[in-house]
Structure formats: structure tokens, C-alpha cells
């Protein structure tokens, strides 16, 4: 006996060879052994096929979901290097540390934290090769240093009892020691170090050089302001040094010696004698069309009796200092007046600075 399959439509039995009964109304059936009977009308129902329709999602909702996913992806914390550990929530700050003469002996402290890079910047140039980090516990990654800044990256927080120092040498030789420490609630993301030493600054430092230049400028301004009065004061001082009981010589006479050497026209014009000193006035004209002449120093010697004796030049001044082509300058050479009655003749030499255009005048009667 062959058992029929239970299909949800009436009027037929189904076997493996005939599963559908064309032309018959589909009804629910009750199956028994080999018999197919019609089901009651209450069981009878016409099958209706339903078309599947996809559920539509508003575009605004889709866009909102995509934007939310992107924002979540951007805002999610990214994993750092495996050897860097960040612990706790800290406020990141940028500070300025000033090193002055008053706090030079105080060691400045920089706050570092695990996983937080700290950039230490200097207003003065530093020596990158001289940066020393005393990291005995191997807490920091390798230090990155340039001529103006240092980057510190600790792998983890420093212990309370651990002491880590950073020593930096400026380009002028100033040594700046710094202490690195960890505090619970904040960390330095940037530190500007300003070294403003005056009395403790080395001679090569910018501060010392500026102070020296300012002092020299002030002295020069004072000399220019008192130039005329200073000359009068010096003459007054010379008068005070003289012995009033001895006769004094105040003399001026013409020399009138003229010569041309090394494309220079040299003329010894006059000599003045006062208070035991002689002042020789010389004019020079540079007739070289392309080269400038600069005086290094004059030399004076006295000859007599077959001997030559050097005469000490007390002072000399030339105006202008540099003699350009086709220009004329004045030169004054001061020396001690020889004793009265001597018949010595003098030799005057004018030596060029960094050159070989030297002038030599013999047989001067001064």
C-alpha cells in the first residue's frame, strides 16, 4: 500500500510521480490510507500568493547612520606603540621657565607623563650633542634634539622616588640642569626655557656681548660729547704739571719738506713745541687712482754723530683714517722734544697697514 503525501490542497493525493492535480480547486484534505477525501468547508480556503516587497529605509536615516559610524570611528582612541603606556587623566599645559641671576641656583622642574610627548624649547641655541638624559630606569624613548628644542617621550609615569635629570648646554657654554617628575593631575606638553643671565652669563653669551656693546657705545658717545672740553682739560693738566720757575718754550716753525713716494704726495709742514713735547703736522695726498692707503703707525728716529736713536712716539692721529684715491689727509705725530742745542736730524717713516707702500723721509730738521 502506498501512502500519499500531505499536500495543503484538496482533491488529490500525491506521490513522487504526480504532485499536482491540474484543474482542481485547491482545498485542505484529510488523508488516510490510499483515500483522498474533501475537507469540510470551514477548512477550505483559497491560497493567495503574496508578493515580497523590500522594506524601504528613509535616506535621511541611512545618512545619519553612516555619519554616526564615521564619527565613532574618528573619535575612538587609537592604539599607541606597544611600549608606551598612558595612565590617568591629566590636563596638558604649556609653561615658560625663566632662568635668571636670582634663581640660577634653583633647579627647574618639568612635569612628564607616560605616553605624553613633551617639547622643551630654548630661546638661545643649544648644543644638541651635549644633551644628557639620566634615565637609569629606561623610562624614556630615545631623545630627539635639535639646535632649538628637545622632545621627551616617557613610556610610563615616573615613580615618586625616582629622580631623572636633563642637562642641556647652550651654545655660549651655559649649563642648564632640569629635573623631570610626574604629578597626578597635569603634564607639560610644551615648556619654553628662557635663560636671561647678566652677572652670571659667560663672556661669549649674547647677553654679555650686548651689555659690552652698550657700554662701549655709551663711552663713545661720552667721548664725542666731551671731545672739545677734554682737549682743553688735558692742556690745563699739562700746565699744572710744569715748573713755573723754569723757562717754558712755546714755539711753532715751518718745516717745508715735500716728497713723492709710492704714489703718495707727502709734505711735512709745521712743528709745534709746548710743555716738553713736539707735534709734527704732515699732510698726505693719495694719487693712486685705484688703491686706498691706510696708516698702520709712524716711526721716528734721530741721527747724529754717526749714531741713530729711536725716538718714542707718544701719540699720533690721522684724519681721515682711510685715505681714498685723490683725497688728502692730515697726520699729527707727537714725541718728546729733544734737548736744547742738539743738532740731530730726524727720519720719519710712515708704514702702510697690510701693504708695502711705505714712506721714508730722511734729514728732517725739527
Distances, alpha carbon 33 to alpha carbons 2, 4, 26, in Å: 8, 8, 20
CA 281/CA 276 separation, integer angstroms: 17
Q: Give the chain's end-to-end CA distance (angstroms, integer).
A: 165
* Any domain includes 17: yes
188 and 116, same structural domain? yes
* Any domain includes 204: no
180 and 259, same structural domain? no
Q: What is the pLDDT of residue 334?
A: 94
Q: Using an 8 Å Cβ cutoff, are 164 and 179 in contact?
A: yes
Q: Report the predicted TM-score, pTM, of the whole model to 2 decimal places.
A: 0.42
167 and 269, same structural domain? no
Q: Which of 150, 180, 196 is the last residue of a domain?
A: 196
Residue 180: CATH number of its domain: 2.60.40
Q: Which of 173, 196, 219 is the last residue of a domain?
A: 196
CA 312/CA 331 separation, integer angstroms: 17
Q: 97: which 3 cell numbers?
A: 621657565
Sequence-distant (≥ 6) Cβ neighbours of residue 344 within 8 angstroms:
302, 303, 304, 338
* Any domain includes 300: yes
Sequence-distant (≥ 6) Cβ neighbours of residue 326 within 8 angstroms:
285, 286, 287, 289
Q: What is the 3-state secondary structure (H, E, C) of the chain?
A: CCCCECCCCCCCCECCCCCCCCCCCCCCEEECCCCEEECCHHHCCCCCCCCCCCCCCCHHHHHHHHHHHHHHHHHCCCCCCCCCCCCCCCEEEEEEEEEECCCCCCCEEEECECCECEEEEECCCECHHHCEECCCCCCECCCEECCCEEEECECCCCCCCCCEEEEEEECCCCEEEEEEECCCCEEEEEEEEEEECCCCCCCCCHHHHHHHHHHHHHHHHHHHHCHHHHHHHHHHHHHHHCCCCCCCCEEEEEEEEEEEECCEEEEEEEEEEECCEEEEEEEEEECCCCCCEEEEEEEEEEEECCEEEEECEEEEEEECCEECCCCEEEEEEEEECCCCCCCCEEEEEEEECCCCCCEEEEEECC
* Any domain includes 14: yes
* Any domain includes 19: yes
Distances, alpha carbon 264 to alpha carbons 209, 279, 288, 294, 348, in Å: 40, 22, 7, 12, 15
* Any domain includes 211: no
Grid cell 713716494 in the structure block, residue: 261
Question: C-alpha angle with apex 137: 134 to 142, nearest 5 degrees?
Answer: 60
Q: Which of 196, 229, 263 is the last residue of a domain?
A: 196
348 and 275, same structural domain? yes
Per-residue pLDDT 10s for the chain (366 aa) are: 444 444 444 444 444 444 444 555 544 444 444 444 555 555 444 445 555 555 555 555 555 555 555 544 444 445 444 444 454 578 999 999 999 989 988 989 999 999 999 999 999 999 999 999 999 889 999 999 999 999 999 999 998 888 899 999 999 889 999 999 999 889 999 999 999 888 887 777 777 778 788 888 888 887 777 666 777 777 788 788 888 787 777 889 899 899 999 999 999 999 999 888 899 999 999 999 999 999 999 999 988 777 888 999 999 999 999 999 999 999 999 998 877 656 678 999 999 999 999 999 998 988
Q: What are phi and psi of 73, to 5 degrees?
A: -65, -40
* Any domain includes 217: no
How many distinct structural domains can be found in the chain? Answer: 3
- Kindly provide the b/e burial profile for residues 325-350, where b requires at least 16 CB atoms within 10 angstroms of the residue's own CB: eeeebebebebebbeeeeebebbbeb
Range of the structural domain that residue 323 is part of:
250-364
* Any domain includes 219: no
Residue 261: CATH number of its domain: 2.60.40.1230
357 and 277, same structural domain? yes
262 and 185, same structural domain? no
102 and 25, same structural domain? no
Amino acid at each position: 500500500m502506498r501512502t500519499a503525501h500531505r499536500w495543503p490542497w484538496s482533491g488529490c493525493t500525491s506521490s513522487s510521480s504526480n504532485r499536482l492535480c491540474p484543474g482542481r480547486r485547491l482545498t485542505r484534505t484529510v488523508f488516510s490510507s490510499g483515500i483522498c477525501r474533501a475537507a469540510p468547508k470551514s477548512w477550505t480556503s483559497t491560497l493567495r500568493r503574496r508578493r515580497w516587497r523590500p522594506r524601504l529605509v528613509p535616506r535621511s536615516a541611512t545618512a545619519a547612520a553612516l555619519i554616526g559610524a564615521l564619527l565613532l570611528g574618528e573619535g575612538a582612541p587609537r592604539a599607541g606603540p606597544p611600549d608606551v603606556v598612558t595612565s590617568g587623566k591629566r590636563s596638558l599645559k604649556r609653561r615658560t621657565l625663566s632662568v635668571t641671576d636670582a634663581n640660577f641656583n634653583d633647579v627647574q622642574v618639568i612635569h612628564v607623563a607616560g605616553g605624553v610627548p613633551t617639547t622643551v624649547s630654548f630661546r638661545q641655541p643649544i648644543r644638541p650633542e651635549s644633551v644628557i638624559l639620566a634615565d637609569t630606569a629606561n623610562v624614556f624613548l630615545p631623545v630627539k634634539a635639535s639646535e632649538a628644542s628637545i622632545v621627551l617621550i616617557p613610556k610610563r609615569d615616573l615613580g615618586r622616588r625616582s629622580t631623572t635629570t636633563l642637562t642641556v648646554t647652550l651654545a655660549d657654554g651655559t649649563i642648564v640642569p632640569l629635573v623631570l617628575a610626574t604629578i597626578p593631575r597635569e603634564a607639560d606638553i610644551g615648556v619654553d626655557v628662557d635663560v636671561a643671565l647678566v652677572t652670571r652669563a659667560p663672556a661669549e653669551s649674547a647677553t654679555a656681548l650686548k651689555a659690552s656693546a652698550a657700554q662701549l657705545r655709551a663711552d663713545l658717545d661720552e667721548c664725542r660729547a666731551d671731545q672739545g672740553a677734554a682737549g682743553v682739560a688735558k692742556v690745563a693738566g699739562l700746565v699744572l704739571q710744569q715748573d713755573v720757575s723754569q723757562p717754558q718754550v712755546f714755539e711753532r716753525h715751518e718745516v717745508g719738506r715735500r716728497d713723492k713716494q709710492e704714489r703718495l704726495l707727502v709734505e711735512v709742514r709745521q712743528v709745534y713745541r709746548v710743555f716738553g713735547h713736539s707735534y709734527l703736522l704732515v699732510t698726505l695726498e693719495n694719487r693712486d687712482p685705484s688703491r686706498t692707503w691706510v696708516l698702520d703707525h709712524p716711526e721716528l728716529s734721530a741721527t747724529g754723530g754717526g749714531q741713530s736713536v729711536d725716538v718714542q712716539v707718544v701719540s699720533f692721529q690721522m684724519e681721515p683714517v682711510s685715505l681714498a684715491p685723490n683725497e688728502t689727509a692730515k697726520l699729527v705725530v707727537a714725541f718728546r722734544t729733544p734737548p736744547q742745542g742738539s743738532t740731530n736730524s730726524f727720519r720719519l717713516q710712515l708704514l702702510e697697514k697690510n701693504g708695502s707702500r711705505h714712506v721714508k723721509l730722511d734729514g728732517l730738521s725739527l
